[in-house]
């Protein structure tokens, strides 16, 4: 039996759809708890969220470098306080020499609609650097109620 169990199907409707018994949420059985724990632990190894980054930075426990991987113009217009601008296309060994090899980089871009953070994380991982993506990016940061700083407000 697969995770998607249609054994309770009573036939199809006039438009060919298979009627659901119960909700579409439960139509696919959830994973075994041990498998789910492994899956979610894996996700957390690759990503963090805006809340955790903000919490760490506000407590002065910044055991990572926060990299804004957007363009310099977007960074200047508004970025997360404490972030360093290093566009994903410029993530090369020479530009990272200021950070020890074991430094955890947390990368972000504009938001869920942008894959710049994924590109940056890929580049960093290929360079042998530990990396996590901050899910949500700038959009998520603002959604959490946190503020950005800009060239005009940081000096």
- pLDDT of 66-76, one tens digit each? 999 999 999 99
Distance, CA of 14 to CA of 11 (rounded, Å): 10
Q: Which residue has the higher pLDDT, 17 or 138?
A: 138
Distance, CA of 123 to CA of 128 (rounded, Å): 9
Question: Does 131 fall in a domain?
Answer: yes
Encode 58-93: b = buried (16+ Cβ within 10 Å), e = exposed.
eeeeeebbbbbbbbeebbeebbbeebebbbbeebee
Look at residue 9 in the predicted model and tell me its pLDDT.
47
Question: Does 124 fall in a domain?
Answer: yes
Look at residue 143 in the predicted model and tell me its pLDDT.
97
Question: Does 104 fall in a domain?
Answer: yes
Structural domain of 71: 47-143
Query: Lowest-confidence range among 5-9, 71-75, 143-147?
Result: 5-9
- CATH number for position 92: 3.40.250.10
Domains of the chain: total:
1
Threshold 0.95, pTM exceeds: no
**How many alpha carbons fall within 13 Å on the CB side of residue 92?**
3
CA 67 vs. chain centroid, Å, equals 13
Question: Does 79 fall in a domain?
Answer: yes
What is the per-residue pLDDT across 59-107, written as a single tens digit (0 to 9) for each? 999 899 999 999 999 999 999 999 999 999 999 999 999 999 999 999 9
3-state secondary structure of 106: strand
Question: Does 154 fall in a domain?
Answer: no
Residue 148 per-residue DSSP state: -
Question: Does 81 fall in a domain?
Answer: yes
Residue 130 per-residue DSSP state: -
pLDDT at 10 over 70: no
Question: Does 14 fall in a domain?
Answer: no
């Amino acid at each position: 039996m697969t995770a998607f169990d249609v054994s309770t199907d009573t036939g199809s409707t006039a438009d060919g759809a298979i009627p659901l018994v119960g909700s579409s949420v439960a139509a696919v059985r959830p994973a075994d708890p041990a498998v789910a724990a492994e899956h979610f632990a894996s996700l957390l190894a690759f990503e963090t969220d805006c809340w955790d980054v903000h919490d760490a930075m506000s407590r002065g426990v910044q055991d990572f470098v926060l990299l804004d991987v957007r363009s310099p113009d977007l960074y200047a217009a508004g970025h997360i306080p404490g972030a360093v601008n290093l566009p994903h296309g410029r993530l090369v060994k020479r530009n990272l020499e200021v950070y020890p090899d074991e430094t955890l980089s947390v990368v972000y871009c504009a938001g869920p609609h942008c894959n710049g953070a994924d590109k940056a994380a890929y580049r960093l991982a290929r360079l042998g650097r530990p990396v996590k993506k901050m899910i949500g990016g700038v959009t998520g940061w603002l959604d959490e109620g946190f503020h950005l700083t800009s060239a005009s407000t940081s000096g």
